[in-house]
Amino acid sequence: MSAFWNVVAAETFKLVRKRRTYVLAGLWWLLLPSLALILGRVLVSNFAASFANEAGGVDLAVQTIASPYGIALIGVVGPAYVSPPFYVIVVAALAAVLIGEERSHGMWKTILVAQPSRLAVLAGKLVTAMLVVGVLLGGTLLSGVAFGAAGTLFLPTTFAGDWGGLLRTYLLQWAFTGAIVAFAFLMVHLARNVAVGLILVFFLPGLLETLYTVYATTVGFQPINRFNVFLQGIRLRQVLEDLPTYFFTANVYAPARAPVREVAAAFTAEAATEGLDLAGLLGSNITLERAAIVAGAYALLFLALLTWRFLRADID
Amino acid sequence: MPETPPSAPGRQERLAALGGGVSRARAAAPAGASMATGPPAARAAGTDARASERGPAPLGAAEARMPAIIAHELTKRYGRALAVDRASFEIERGELVGFLGPNGAGKTTTLRMLAGLIRPTSGEGRVLDRRVPGPALRRVGTMIEEPSFYPYMTGRDNLRYAARLHGGVPERRIDEVLDFVKLDRASSKRVKAYSQGMRQRLGLARSLLWSPDVLLLDEPTNGLDPAGIAEIRENLREVAAEGVTVLVSSHILAEIEKLVGRILAIDHGKIVYDGPLDALVQRIDAGAVSFRLRATDGAALLAALRDFGLEPEPDGERGARVSAPAADADALVARLVRAGVDVTEADRTGEDLEGAYLRLIRGDGRPS
């Protein structure tokens, strides 16, 4: 056990000495809350006294965007909706430092002599990544509250909000990020090159999912070719049609995307009449329980592959 | 099979216990035993570190009698290429052994296998009586090929990182090893600003950080200027004098000659020689030995050497450099004296080993 904690201590020490850690924290902790406050101020300045606010719509929007609760919520929801998602960017950056850098700087030969237990080294690095993601998410929550509190001084906002639900969202998204950490570590380790590894982390899931979508759209799963006849024969057609609900990106951001479900639900009925799957587009139509199982399965698969490869790898 | 001195009792039994063939044993003779002593404070602090955190229990009596390093039929194959071919040797505790071989001979691969970094295709390596890779590596310091660091960290922070990773290394130990390699003043600079020599010394400092019982060093003087080479050599002598087992590879033959008493030579993955340095030099058949001679009368010295059929080169006003057949080498000075030359100085130069070694790997001068 001490070997594991030694690795955690060493890797934490390294990340503290790494400038990139502070850049990531700065982006997450300062940029989004600042933008939210600026947007809130712009809304108040331009529309608070106008007819648009007769029913209190502008005040509601400012409360949603720039209140302490609103900014903290944006801090966890927003990163799931940028492309590539900010969670992947953060985790890929950590994987580059914790796994990729060891190869590019030739450090494995030092690390694995100082700490010969490869299992402890791998587990320590993974746990360090999760701890850092936790610190970054926790900091996001706190900075959101701090910026929002500052905003109450010059904006018509309050501290109202479902704080318990928000905390749960943060904790769940942190746990789900474990699957992304496992995936990023595996890709960076397999690629044997940090740049190639990062490209794989950013784009491989999206590429595979897009290829599936193209196939499903252009060919579909009707028995019009031998391939689909075969799939029907082995009773896989329905599974393939349901495949998007098992997609990596659809599941690992499920907690962060869940708050959007309510918004989506309000528009879904209307959108459905026009043949538009709004909830599907927003990725918010997967239940958290199911997403947890799928993300957990991904994490286990990636961890098993990573461990198998890492324990056997020759260090050249 | 490699050439080795006569057997020592116990070796065959040990190899038999490993389940394989037998080669001859070595007598333990720490090459640096009579040299300068190490830094006492550093060793004292290191003892604390070892006692608290090295992992495996301190040496028992049985373990203390075992060789520090055992390579038994170590083989590494990459596809069709055979990098190391059934390399077997033993290194006793406290020995300082040179590992010699041309580029691509298999030195680094052998060291990597002993350091647990690559898995042998067959055979096994044991360090401190424990199979590697394994916990015994926590008592091993290594510097494999060019030492690597995190360039964005200072030298001291790189050592702190390694200390945390290993565990149980107090901060004062970092000061001691930095002082030992004379990097204490530069320790606050980022490593990316270090010269090659400073990186080599920092690598040595890191390998000593947890006061290892065994040091595996791969070309530690690579890329250093003569002053840097001398410093590293002195550092290694001090470490060896403290009883640390050192296996040091190099292709700078003169460096090995000045540092070690025993040579392991490898070529094309095979151990081609395992024995005392002197034997390698002295037992070369028909080999040439280089001399640097000085006499009261330089002209008479040159003339006498030419009379012997040699081709001397003047070396200053009263000196000469000459290469003589190994068979005649021991008698050369006596012949000069008999010829009336007043010889004041006669040195065999470091090229002896190189000549012997090149003949060894060419296969035309293997010691009998």
Q: Which of A12, A97, A113 to mutate to test the interface with B (most CBs of B within 10 A)?
A: A113
Contact criterion met (CB < 8 Å) for B166 and A114 = yes
Contact criterion met (CB < 8 Å) for A17 and B150 = yes
Contacts of A118 in chain B (CB under 8 A): 133
On whether both B205 and B349 belong to a single domain, the answer is no
Residue B355 has pLDDT above 70, yes or no: no
- B281 Cα distance to chain centroid: 16
> Which of the residue ranges A220-224, B157-161, B292-296 has the most confident prediction, judged by mean pLDDT?
B157-161
Helix or strand (DSSP H, E) at B36: none
What integer best gives the mean pLDDT of chain A? Answer: 86
CA distance A304 to A302: 5
Least confident of A156-160, B329-333, B361-365: B361-365
Contacts of B151 in chain A (CB under 8 A): 105
Enclosing domain of residue A10 = 2-312
The residue with greater pLDDT, A117 or A280, is: A117
Least confident of A98-107, B76-85, B354-363: B354-363
Average pLDDT over residues B226-254: 85
Average pLDDT over residues A84-101: 91
Q: Which of residues 103-142 of A touch B (CB under 8 A)?
A: 105-118
Q: Please, which residues bridge with residue B90 across strands? A: B70
Task: Assign A85 a pLDDT band (cuts: 50, 70, 90).
Answer: confident
Give a yes or no: residue B309 inside a domain. Answer: yes
What is the percentage of chain B residues whose pLDDT exceeds 90?
A: 41
Contact criterion met (CB < 8 Å) for A10 and B165 = yes
Residue B58 has pLDDT above 60, yes or no: no
Contact criterion met (CB < 8 Å) for A9 and B157 = no
Domain boundary among B211, B236, B271: B271
Closest by Cβ to A116, choosing from B119, B137, B206 = B137
Give a yes or no: residue B80 inside a domain. Answer: no
User: Helices (DSSP H) in chain B: which residue ranges?
Assistant: 11-18, 40-53, 61-65, 107-114, 155-166, 171-180, 196-207, 226-241, 253-259, 277-282, 298-307, 326-338, 351-362
The two beta strands, B245-250 and B214-218, are parallel
What the block records as the tokens of B195 is 């010269």
**Residue B187: predicted pLDDT:** 93
Task: Assign A264 a pLDDT band (cuts: 50, 70, 90).
Answer: low
Q: What CA dihedral angle connects A26, A28, A31 and A33, to 10 degrees?
A: -120
Sign of CA dihedral B266, B267, B270, B275: negative
Residue B246 has pLDDT above 50, yes or no: yes
Q: Nearest CA to CA, how far is B199 from chain A (Å)?
A: 13
Residue B153 touches partner A, C-beta closer than 8 Å:
yes
Average pLDDT over residues B96-113: 90
Contact criterion met (CB < 8 Å) for B164 and A315 = no
Contact criterion met (CB < 8 Å) for A116 and B138 = yes
pLDDT in tens, B163-222: 999 998 999 999 999 999 989 899 999 999 999 889 999 999 999 999 999 999 998 888
ipTM given for this complex: 0.84
On whether both B259 and B110 belong to a single domain, the answer is yes
Q: Nearest CA to CA, how far is A199 from chain B (Å)?
A: 23
The residue with greater pLDDT, B286 or B78, is: B78
The residue with greater pLDDT, B53 or A94, is: A94
Residue A285 has pLDDT above 70, yes or no: no
Contacts of B157 in chain A (CB under 8 A): 13, 17
Identify the DSSP state of B190: B
Let me know: does B280 contact B273? Beta carbons within 8 Å: yes
Domain boundary among B271, B293, B324: B271
The residue with greater pLDDT, B265 or B251, is: B265
On whether both B190 and B308 belong to a single domain, the answer is no
**Residue A281: predicted pLDDT:** 56
pLDDT in tens, B254-309: 677 778 889 898 888 999 889 888 777 665 544 667 788 999 999 999 999 999 88
Query: Looking at residue B288, which CATH number applies to its domain?
Result: 3.30.70.340
**Residue A263: predicted pLDDT:** 65
**Residue B345: predicted pLDDT:** 87
Average pLDDT over residues A102-131: 94
On whether both B42 and B140 belong to a single domain, the answer is yes
On whether both B166 and B53 belong to a single domain, the answer is yes
Residue B190 touches partner A, C-beta closer than 8 Å:
no
Domain boundary among B240, B271, B302: B271
Residue A72 has pLDDT above 70, yes or no: yes
Contact criterion met (CB < 8 Å) for B153 and A110 = no
pLDDT in tens, A8-51: 999 999 999 998 889 989 988 998 899 999 999 999 988 877 88
pTM above 0.90, yes or no: no
Number of domains in chain A: 1
On whether both B159 and B265 belong to a single domain, the answer is yes
The residue with greater pLDDT, A258 or B88, is: B88
Please spell the DSSP secondary structure of A22-47, one letter per residue. HHHHHIIIIIHHHHHHHHHHHHHHHH
Residue B332 has pLDDT above 80, yes or no: yes
Task: Assign B358 a pLDDT band (cuts: 50, 70, 90).
Answer: low
On whether both B356 and B290 belong to a single domain, the answer is yes
Q: Which of B78, B164, B206 to mutate to test the interface with A (most CBs of A within 10 A)?
A: B164
**Residue A271: predicted pLDDT:** 58
CB pairs under 8 A between A and B: 90
The residue with greater pLDDT, A302 or B135, is: A302
Residue B188 touches partner A, C-beta closer than 8 Å:
no
Enclosing domain of residue B163 = 30-64+94-120+133-271
**Residue B368: predicted pLDDT:** 35
On whether both B219 and B304 belong to a single domain, the answer is no
The two beta strands, B245-250 and B96-100, are parallel
Beta-sheet strand order (sheet of B214-218)? B140-143, B214-218, B245-250, B96-100, B262-267, B270-276
Would you tell me how many other CB atoms lie within 10 Å of the CB of residue B320?
22
Residue B311 has pLDDT above 80, yes or no: yes
CA distances (Å), origin A158, targets A64, A165, B198: 10, 17, 59
On whether both B227 and B261 belong to a single domain, the answer is yes
Closest by Cβ to B165, choosing from A101, A111, A312 = A111
Number of domains in chain B: 2
Give a yes or no: residue B160 inside a domain. Answer: yes
Contact criterion met (CB < 8 Å) for A10 and B164 = yes
Contact criterion met (CB < 8 Å) for A315 and B148 = no
At B80 the three-state DSSP class reads coil
